[in-house]
A = this chain, B = another copy of it.
Amino acid sequence: MAGTVTEICRLAAACAPELARLDGATKNAALHAMADALLDSKGELVVANKEDVSTAEAQGTSRTLLDRLTLTPSRLEGMASGLRGVAAQDDPVGEIVAGRRRPNGLTIEEVRAPLGVIAVIYEARPNVTSDVAGLCLKSGNAAVLRGSSIALNSNVAIVDVLRSALESAGVPIDAVQLVPDASRASAEELMTAKGLVDLLVPRGGPALIGSIEDNATVPFIIDGDGNCHIYVDESADEAMATSIVVNAKTQRPSVCNALETLLVHEAKASAWLPKVLDDLATAGVEIRGDQRVIETWSRASAAAEDDWATEYLDLVLAVKVVRSLDAAVSHINEYGTANAEGIVTGDLSAARRFASEINAGSIFVNASTRFSDGAEFGYGAEIGISTQKLHARGPMGLRALTSTKFVVWGDGQIRT
């Protein structure tokens, strides 16, 4: 696995045509072998991860980051089941997305094909390592993984296990490679590996995204922040609204689909809002509200302008009372990050307008934003959550890792 980033990318590009031709049965067998290998190596993987976690703790790493970093037997089982979930998906390669016969007899097929080499730069979640490896293999692509330095021991151990499984399944081991040097320089080398990397997915904070936008010469898809909102409409069922808001804020606050700002229709401000804020406070959530919220619930502190734009990733919630659906839509389209946005409503017309007018990858009607997730969408896993509009938007599964090409079948047609 040693070598410069460019050498790694060359090895990946060299095996890409073979990966593109693999049949689905071989790929599925390899995915199950990878899952089995993770379970068989549970003990050593947890040990390798403990080393990362101890170092991180000693460095004073935040609770949020430690939570993301930690590998438990149950998370390893989740990773294995993610790989099996990917195996259970239809093979995207060769899928005929659309097709038609033209008046001149030409038959036009739009056919899915792998992209080639997919690189992912990611933070301290070791499960991303196996998720990305599995999705890339199933979609016929080579994976180049550049994880965080604080997860390096974990990632080296996981990738070793996965590559052994690939070998046993007769798949080229260079289908999955880890960049062993988790430095800024290695990230920059990946961003500029033009002609070798067909897609780069940067999963990280604003500094990484900014650096990609400034420096990348390879195609990329932004997996950006999640400043997620839930709007509780005038017509919302109150028990449902409480359950969804508490779940979206507290079930796992450290992830990008957690709730960050609650917008409440003024009709719900007097009776319902104080109750849900009590529940959130009981769950340890700090509330920062606008003037109207503070009048209703005195334990709230005053939200500053910055709060509307902040992804806390922690037990903090910004809360604002709005006069209408329009005001909620405007606020979300101004401050949101086009990730996951939700509405709780009993009004079909409000739901349809919210779904149509909100600019986001995923829009949730009467469901927690926490479902914005490849596994929850039924993709087995995800390579990231796109917050841009081109190519893919929202949780990215297998299809986001392919391109389509037109194959036109004729019997001698010429253009006149």
Chain A residues close to B by CB (< 8 Å): 17, 20-21, 94, 100, 102, 106, 108, 111, 113, 115-116, 198-199, 213, 217, 219, 221, 237, 240, 243-244, 247-248, 251, 351, 355-357, 360-368, 370-372, 376-378, 388-391, 393-395, 403-416
Contacts and interface: CB of A to CB of B under 8 A. Distances in A.
So how many copies of this chain end up in the complex?
2
B407 A376 contact: no
Contacts of A102: 376-378
A74 to B, nearest CB: 14
A366 B410 contact: yes
Nearest to A245: B414
Contacts of A106: 367, 371, 376
Contacts of A237: 412
Given A106-B371, A378-B100, A405 B251 contact: no
Nearest to A241: B412
From DSSP, what is the main secondary structure of chain A's interface residues? mixed
29 contacts: A102-B378, A106-B367, A106-B376, A108-B377, A108-B378, A115-B389, A116-B389, A213-B217, A219-B388, A221-B390, A237-B412, A244-B414, A247-B415, A251-B415, A355-B407, A362-B406, A362-B407, A362-B408, A363-B406, A363-B407, A364-B408, A365-B407, A365-B410, A366-B413, A367-B412, A371-B408, A371-B415, A394-B405, A394-B406
B367 A410 contact: yes
Given A111-B355, A248-B414, A367-B410, 18 more contacts: A115-B390, A198-B389, A219-B389, A219-B390, A221-B390, A240-B412, A244-B414, A251-B415, A362-B407, A363-B405, A365-B409, A366-B411, A367-B408, A370-B414, A371-B410, A371-B413, A371-B415, A376-B415
Contacts of A404: 393
Contacts of A113: 356
Nearest to A97: B97
A393 to B, nearest CB: 5
Contact of A415 (B213, B355, B368): B368
A370 B94 CA distance: 24
Contact of A408 (B240, B363, B407, B409): B363
A86 B115 CA distance: 30
Given A371-B106, A377-B108, A403 B413 contact: no
Contacts of A377: 102, 108, 406
Contacts of A199: 389-390
Nearest to A370: B415
A244 to B, nearest CB: 6
Contacts of A410: 364-367, 371
B393 A403 contact: yes
A361 B406 CA distance: 6
Contacts of A415: 247, 251, 368, 370-371, 376
A231 B387 CA distance: 41
Contacts of A198: 389
A387 to B, nearest CB: 11
A368 B367 CA distance: 51
A365 B243 contact: no
Contacts of A416: 251
A202 to B, nearest CB: 14
